Amino acid sequence: VDLVFGAILLLTASPASPLAYAAVCTPLLSGLLYGWRGSGVFTGLQLVVLLLVFRAWEHRPGAGASTLLIAGFCVAAGVIGVTLRNLMFRFGTASQALAEANSRLAVAEAVESERARLAREMHDSVAKTLHGLALSAEALAVAADHERNPRALKAQATAVAGAARRAATESRELLTDLRAHTALSHPPMDMVTELAARVADFESRTGIEATFVHRPAPHGQGPALTLPPGAPRQLLAIASEALENTHRHADATHVRVTLECSRSVLRLTVRDDGEGTAVTLDDVRLLANTGHFGLLGMLERAASVAAELRLHSTAHAGTEVTLTLPCASTVPERPSRSPQEEAAHA
């Protein structure tokens, strides 16, 4: 159709007319659509049409030069069309390869992220409880050899049984979490109540005096806080790990857990009076290489909810772990007034 249109235009306008340059569209389109073969065929047909049109208009001055010029443009247009076609195919191939590479990279990152999450969950739940179970079992074995009091043996056996039940419970929770599709599938929890319960359980298990302090935002002095999805669970896990570090490494006699809420920030602090530590949170690779997987997991949990984790420790003066979480604020809606209240207000 384009070839016929170009032939009619050349016959009516003559090769010397500016409208005759529309004939280059035929080689250009054929090169874009069909490649070298199609471009060669249609360019040849266009040159034949140009020759016939020249025969019809050869008496007009400048017809020969215009015909040669248009013929040169037709050949160039055919080459340009084929070149553009090849470039588009190469660009499409490169885009497809880039998309596949990005897809593989995303899958690799997802797998790595899931492996890191599983490592955190295993370290903070089952591995920690199994370590306590092993210590209780060793204490029971020692008591069985030297202890003559049946009540003491019964207490040791009860501690072992309790640790085993905790390990089973944490395993079920871990499996439930693995089967959950999103963080939103977790049931809502009262973080203050749960944190207080964990502090009380820590005190009863370890014998270390533990105090929980909750400082809510003053009533009526700011909007309500909205925590990011999954933040309560991550905060509880960080607090539990900090408490366990106090029990296993700090040789402390007292630990204080403080939860503070302001207008736009939630701050969780765990401070003990133990021996302190020389470990810092500055180098994540160093934490992994030296086996401090608990601190590494705390950092990763804080990063997952866009929180900031700080560790401040002084030799023989205790350790303080502070988590600062910026929160969105939501202003509660005012109750609408009745017509009588509106009239009284007016």
Written as tens digits, the pLDDT of the chain (346 aa) is 888 877 777 777 777 777 777 788 888 888 888 888 888 888 888 888 888 877 777 777 777 788 788 888 888 888 898 999 999 999 988 998 998 898 888 888 877 777 777 776 666 666 666 766 777 777 777 777 776 677 777 777 887 787 777 777 767 766 666 666 444 445 566 788 889 998 998 888 888 999 999 988 766 544 455 677 778 888 888 888 888 888 888 888 999 999 998 877 889 999 999 888 877 777 656 766 666 677 788 888 888 888 899 988 887 788 999 999 987 654 444 444 444 444 444 4
Residues 89 and 202 in one domain: no
> Which residue, of 63, 82, 100, is where some domain finishes?
100
Structural domain count of the chain: 2
Residues 81 and 217 in one domain: no
285-323-232 Cα angle (round to 5) = 105
- Evaluate whether residue 250 is within a structural domain: yes
- Evaluate whether residue 40 is within a structural domain: yes
- Evaluate whether residue 121 is within a structural domain: no
- Evaluate whether residue 168 is within a structural domain: no
End-to-end CA distance of the chain: 79
Compute the CA torsion angle 63, 64, 66, 67 (nearest 10 deg). Answer: 110
Residues 90 and 209 in one domain: no
Residues 84 and 194 in one domain: no
> Which residue, of 41, 72, 100, is where some domain finishes?
100
Residues 346 and 207 in one domain: yes
- Evaluate whether residue 310 is within a structural domain: yes
> Which residue, of 100, 119, 143, is where some domain finishes?
100
- In degrees and rounded to multiples of 5, residue 245 shows phi and psi of -65, -35
Residues 335 and 197 in one domain: yes
- Evaluate whether residue 21 is within a structural domain: yes
Residue tagged 């009745």 (tokens): 338
Residues 322 and 207 in one domain: yes
The residues, ordered by sequence, that sit 6+ positions from 313 with a Cβ below 8 Å of its Cβ are 276, 277, 278, 279, 319, 320
- Evaluate whether residue 113 is within a structural domain: no
Residues 200 and 81 in one domain: no
Listed residue (93, 90, 77) closest to 29, CA to CA: 77
Residues 194 and 328 in one domain: yes
- Evaluate whether residue 115 is within a structural domain: no
- Strand 254-261 relative to strand 209-215, pairing: parallel
CATH number of the domain enclosing 198? 3.30.565.10
Range of the domain at 237: 189-346
